[in-house]
A and B are shown apart, each in its own frame.
Chain A
Amino acid sequence: MNILVLGIGNLLLQDEGAGVRAVEEFERMYEIPRGVELLDGGTSGIELLQYIQGKDCLILLDVVKSGNPPGTFIRLEGENVPALFQKKISPHQLGLSDLLATAQLIDRMPERVVLIGIEPKTIETGLDMSEEVGGAIGLLADMVALELTSLGLDVTPKSAVEPQSHRTIVSECGNRSVCVSVANAFPG
């Protein structure tokens, strides 16, 4: 199975870079399973076509503005992902919306597309993420691991990294209730 884990976002705009940071964190915490490719896509658009086309599964990591409290996770799958980008909920809708539409046009859309998103708090010029989002980057990485596990892959943490406790977060995106199980990195 060919899987691309693609983090997108702008590292210069605080929480906007969460998707990219999560890819870095996943690489730090886990052994990368065979067949899985990690990519820091930044804010690129059409340039990413060569990496996503023809993949069995594309796991996108991004910030998603849906009006929920900062740090809320969202998981979307299938048709809901391009629809989301067309509704302009993500700050990267321009590039990604075109990218996914283009992949569809040339029949090279990945068979399965999953988006794991997090609600941002501050998107101002700066390198530091908010506490809510910065503190949840490890959880985003854990969610990638869960996603890969659900695809039947064997995902093992690197030995030096300590395991974290789990909690359940329920969030809304449009009419869709999303329930995900994630590790909790917040104190209290």
Chain B
Amino acid sequence: MAKRISIDPVTRIEGHLRIDCELNNGRVSKAWSSGQMWRGIELILKDRDPREAWLYTQRICGVCTTVHAIASVRSVENALKMEIPLNAQYIRNILMAAHAIQDHIVHFYHLSALDWVDVTSALKADPKKTAILAQNTSSWHMNSAQVFTETQNKLKGFVGSGQLGIFTNGYWGHPAMKLSPELNLLATTHYLQALEVQRKANMIVSILGGKTPHIQNLAVGGVANPINTDSPSTLTMERLFYVKTLIDELGDFVNNVYFQDVCTIGACYREWTAYGAGVTNYLSVPEFPMDTKGTVFEHPGGFIPDGDISRFHPITGFEDDFLKKGVQESIKHSWYEGSWTRHPWEEDTEPHYTEFQDDGKYSWVKAPTFNGKPAQVGPLANVLCMYAAGDAHTRRYTDKALATIGGMAGEKVTIAALHSTIGRHAARAVRAAVLYETLQKQWQALMDNIGKGDTWTFNKPEFPNGEIKGVGLHEAPRGVLSHWIVIKGGKIKNYQAVVPSTWNSGPRNAQDAPGPYEASLVGTPVVDAEKPLEVLRTVHSFDPCLACAIHMVDTENREIVKVRAL
């Protein structure tokens, strides 16, 4: 008999997401992804000055503040066809890359590792064996038996007090947990160390952005960082060299800890390379502009249809019509008035809530399509597109990850394995390693440009009387982010944000084709319907962030998983 499970809310994500699955013979046969919150940023921005839109958009989400700020200023700059000073591009690029690394580290260790790592099993580990295991694969200085013993004692204290605190809601002892006690201790220790390391990435954002959360240094036309190599109140050499130190400390952790841990988990759970592919149309946008006009980029972007890398189609810049014309959103299954499919510039936002209707409307999230079909966005799409485009760093780290996992698992692992739940984690780690290279390059480019005597950081925007349109693109930690703006007479006429989690968590579209979360869950085995850990593994692998939808949470206590027979 079929069973229906409803996970509401999905925990360890930002925002409110409900996932429903129909189970047949222990596997998911059908799935629904439902954003339970309504986003209304468009309504706030209407008639406002486009130059201040970014100050509001960065308040959409508590995790993605910086990304919504950058996409917003870019949308206005794109509408005005502005050039951005080189220093401003480099400073923005460092900010974005540092933020992305922080986001990837936090996602892996603090939001998703506990789907694979059993913290309670770590109590049974031998710290000396753990140290030998760790030192075999990594030169990280915090992999000593003493460090592992300390972590274990801390955990014993926690468990002994009966209060698991942050670890309260894990599926401890679940039959799908497979790591040895030693590997569980290793990963739990790195979970704690990652808390300190993510702070370093955040410090880079603080130094250049003026403040976190909510950076203050952006402006339509550039950045507000005055550069003066001698004045202590501006961006000085001393500050810039401190940023370099932080960059290198981040790189050490990314390469010697994060990358290694993902490979280890990938090898131990290699059956998960067969689950979770879902939608294999991949979309990413070019990022890290290296010229004033936004035509030369450090990271290429593009589109891959049907998982076929040989059919990669590049997206060359912010003016590329292939992207601008390809994006649409459908509301046939979303809680908005009507049943249209439109380009973001043509949309309106009229909420129309119904009950959860399996075949009708069931989500606040709209269903975006690229050239009429659902597309997956995020680090996996980014890495596959950069691999296809021939980016040297991406090829090197991807090949290294596949070889490392293959070596541990004792079998050849090809790039096809990346179309999976575990593949999304591997791709995120590859991207973090590539971003470390990017950070170094952007830092050097900034230093070289200042060295040439260029301290320019801002061009003043001028608004025409008529109507203009623009799009702000950003390859954010969770994938393609686009802010679509229509400006009339210097005021905002329409504003739509098509966010990464909209692409991935979207409901069925106008042709009833399921979105990436929904498609990825079909075929996933679920051992215990009351504890659907396997469903969470796949959903978490996308790094859901639904807060762009809104930030309210139901205040009543309720069961997280509901199971009923159909």
User: A42-B62, A44-B213, A46-B110 are known contacts. Are A106 and B192 too (CB-CB below 8 A)?
Assistant: yes
Q: Are B60 and A12 in contact (CB under 8 A)?
A: yes
Does A13 reach chain B (CB closer than 8 Å)? yes
Does B270 reach chain A (CB closer than 8 Å)? no
> In the complex, what residues of B have CB within 8 A of residue A41's CB?
213
A43, A65, A87: the one within 8 Å of B62 (CB): A43
> In the complex, what residues of A have CB within 8 A of residue B203's CB?
50
Q: Are B40 and A102 in contact (CB under 8 A)?
A: no
Does B41 reach chain A (CB closer than 8 Å)? yes
A131 to B526 CA separation, bound complex (whole angstroms): 50
Q: Are A44 and B65 in contact (CB under 8 A)?
A: yes
> Which of B38, B63, B106, B158 has the most A CB atoms < 10 Å from its CB?
B63
Which stretch (B194-202, B432-440, B494-502) binds chain A?
B194-202
Using an 8 Å CB-CB cutoff, how does the interface string of A82-110 with B read, 1 for contact, 0 for none?
Answer: 00000111011111001001101110000
Q: Which residues in chain B, 38-67, are within 8 Å of chain A measured between CB atoms?
A: 38-41, 43-44, 56, 59-63, 65
Closest A residue to B103 by CB, please name it. A47
A78 to B523 CA separation, bound complex (whole angstroms): 47
Closest B residue to A46 by CB, please name it. B106
Q: Are A11 and B59 in contact (CB under 8 A)?
A: yes
A94 to B44 CA separation, bound complex (whole angstroms): 25
Which stretch (B85-93, B236-244, B327-335, B554-562) binds chain A?
B554-562
A16, A105, A123: the one within 8 Å of B166 (CB): A105
Using an 8 Å CB-CB cutoff, how does the interface string of A36-68 with B read, 1 for contact, 0 for none?
Answer: 000011111111111000000000000001000
> In the complex, what residues of A have CB within 8 A of residue B154's CB?
105
Q: Are A13 and B552 in contact (CB under 8 A)?
A: yes
Interface size on A, residues (CB 8 A): 36
Q: Are B555 and A91 in contact (CB under 8 A)?
A: yes
> In the complex, what residues of B have CB within 8 A of residue A49's CB?
195, 199
A45, A89, A93, A124: the one within 8 Å of B63 (CB): A45
A77 to B70 CA separation, bound complex (whole angstroms): 38
A48 to B556 CA separation, bound complex (whole angstroms): 25
Q: Are A102 and B166 in contact (CB under 8 A)?
A: yes
Does B547 reach chain A (CB closer than 8 Å)? yes
User: A46-B106, A49-B199 are known contacts. Are A125 and B213 too (CB-CB below 8 A)?
Assistant: no
Q: Are A101 and B165 in contact (CB under 8 A)?
A: yes
A38 to B329 CA separation, bound complex (whole angstroms): 41
Does A185 reach chain B (CB closer than 8 Å)? no
Chain A min CB distance to B494 (Å): 16
Q: Are A16 and B552 in contact (CB under 8 A)?
A: yes
Closest A residue to B58 by CB, please name it. A42
Does B182 reach chain A (CB closer than 8 Å)? no
Q: Which residues in chain A, 1-58, are within 8 Å of chain B measured between CB atoms?
A: 10-13, 16, 40-50
Closest B residue to A45 by CB, please name it. B62
A102 to B59 CA separation, bound complex (whole angstroms): 24
> In the complex, what residues of B have CB within 8 A of residue A88's CB?
553-557
Q: Which residues in chain B, 95-153, are within 8 Å of chain A measured between CB atoms?
A: 102, 106, 110
Q: Are A12 and B44 in contact (CB under 8 A)?
A: yes
B40, B63, B547: the one within 8 Å of A125 (CB): B40
> In the complex, what residues of A have CB within 8 A of residue B250's CB?
none
Does B287 reach chain A (CB closer than 8 Å)? no
A94 to B39 CA separation, bound complex (whole angstroms): 18
Chain B min CB distance to A67 (Å): 9
Q: Are A126 and B553 in contact (CB under 8 A)?
A: no
A47 to B64 CA separation, bound complex (whole angstroms): 11
Does B257 reach chain A (CB closer than 8 Å)? no
A62 to B165 CA separation, bound complex (whole angstroms): 22
Does A127 reach chain B (CB closer than 8 Å)? yes
A87 to B557 CA separation, bound complex (whole angstroms): 7
Does B395 reach chain A (CB closer than 8 Å)? no
> In the complex, what residues of A have CB within 8 A of residue B198's CB?
46
Q: Are B557 and A43 in contact (CB under 8 A)?
A: no
> In the complex, what residues of A have CB within 8 A of residue B60's CB?
12
Q: Which residues in chain B, 181-233, are within 8 Å of chain A measured between CB atoms?
A: 192, 195, 198-199, 202-203, 212-214
Q: Which residues in chain B, 515-566, are within 8 Å of chain A measured between CB atoms?
A: 547, 550-557
> In the complex, what residues of A have CB within 8 A of residue B106's CB?
46
Q: Are A126 and B213 in contact (CB under 8 A)?
A: no
Q: Which residues in chain A, 122-160, are within 8 Å of chain B measured between CB atoms?
A: 123-127
> In the complex, what residues of A have CB within 8 A of residue B166's CB?
98, 101-102, 104-105
Chain B min CB distance to A119 (Å): 12
Chain B min CB distance to A21 (Å): 12
Does B261 reach chain A (CB closer than 8 Å)? no
> In the complex, what residues of A have CB within 8 A of residue B39's CB?
125
Chain B min CB distance to A54 (Å): 12
Does B14 reach chain A (CB closer than 8 Å)? yes
A47 to B103 CA separation, bound complex (whole angstroms): 10
Closest A residue to B158 by CB, please name it. A105
> In the complex, what residues of A have CB within 8 A of residue B63's CB?
44-45, 47
A147 to B102 CA separation, bound complex (whole angstroms): 34
User: A45-B63, A125-B41 are known contacts. Are A13 and B551 too (CB-CB below 8 A)?
Assistant: yes
> In the complex, what residues of B have CB within 8 A of residue A104's CB?
165-166
> In the complex, what residues of B have CB within 8 A of residue A44's CB?
62-63, 65, 212-213
Q: Are B195 and A102 in contact (CB under 8 A)?
A: yes
A16 to B195 CA separation, bound complex (whole angstroms): 28
A47 to B203 CA separation, bound complex (whole angstroms): 10
Q: Are B14 and A48 in contact (CB under 8 A)?
A: no
Chain A min CB distance to B419 (Å): 30
Closest B residue to A67 by CB, please name it. B555
A2 to B198 CA separation, bound complex (whole angstroms): 23
Chain A min CB distance to B131 (Å): 21
A102 to B110 CA separation, bound complex (whole angstroms): 10
Q: Are A42 and B44 in contact (CB under 8 A)?
A: no
B110, B192, B199, B552: the one within 8 Å of A91 (CB): B552
Closest B residue to A95 by CB, please name it. B62
> In the complex, what residues of A have CB within 8 A of residue B43's CB?
125-126
Task: Offer 15 A-B interface pairs, CB within 8 angstroms, sorted by A.
Answer: A10-B59, A40-B213, A43-B59, A44-B62, A45-B14, A92-B62, A92-B553, A93-B553, A101-B166, A105-B154, A105-B166, A106-B192, A125-B38, A125-B39, A125-B550
A-B complex: 8 closest residue pairs judged by Cβ atoms: A43-B62, A125-B40, A101-B166, A44-B213, A44-B62, A101-B165, A50-B199, A10-B551
Known: A13-B552, A105-B192. 19 other contacts (CB 8 A): A11-B56, A11-B59, A12-B60, A41-B213, A42-B59, A42-B62, A43-B61, A43-B62, A43-B551, A44-B65, A46-B110, A50-B202, A91-B555, A92-B553, A98-B110, A102-B110, A106-B195, A125-B39, A126-B44
Q: Chain B residues in contact with chain A, CB under 8 A?
A: 14, 38-41, 43-44, 56, 59-63, 65, 102, 106, 110, 154, 158, 165-166, 192, 195, 198-199, 202-203, 212-214, 547, 550-557
